[in-house]
Amino acid sequence: MPRRTLKKILPHHSKVTDNPMIQRLGPRLKDPGLWHINRRSVSGAVAVGLFAAFVPVPFQMFIAAIGAILFRVNILVSVVLVWISNPVTMPPLFYFCYRVGLWILGDPAGYHPFAFEPSFEWLLHELHYIWKPFLLGCLVVGSSAATIGYVTVRGLWRYLLVKHIHRRKRRYMR
């Protein structure tokens, strides 16, 4: 069952909430809805975590934690899933988001020619050209990934549950 597997992998919520740094965040983290491992909580956490992974700002884990608190889904799963966009995977993911944004806006030519310079002035100049397709692509890809993740987890969880019930029935019918 997925529930047993997740309970083995994830730390117990008391280990997390008893941390002095975490206790500063207030009593909202004591809400049992943030720590439940069930189909609704985990699938919602997957959606929140995947959406937050495509938000192009620093502190994506904080955004995922706030989303988990607002939607009362498993906070650990949502925060862990943000690491899909880590420093190694971020450039290809965000380039893909940029290309999706260009495609939606109808700019098949791509981007204007440029030469990379590691300076803040260059970034501000180029940001003027890429911000619309980039942010639109991040929104679309993040929403799509969240929806696909939510539906996949719900379906997989249900499939494994039905399979478990059939196995149990066969065992008792013998």
Question: How do the pLDDT tens digits run along the chain, 174 residues long?
Answer: 566 776 666 666 666 666 665 555 666 666 777 777 888 999 999 999 999 999 998 889 989 988 998 898 998 899 999 999 988 998 889 889 988 998 898 876 555 565 666 777 776 777 777 888 889 999 999 999 999 999 999 999 999 889 988 888 888 877
Structural domain total, the chain: 1
The whole-number pLDDT of residue 99 equals: 87
The pLDDT value given to residue 49: 96
- Predicted pLDDT of residue 33: 73
In this prediction, residue 133 carries a pLDDT of 87
pLDDT at residue 47, rounded to an integer:
97
Return the pLDDT at 96: 92
Alpha carbon distance 49, 124 (integer Å): 29
Q: What range does the domain containing 123 cover?
A: 2-173
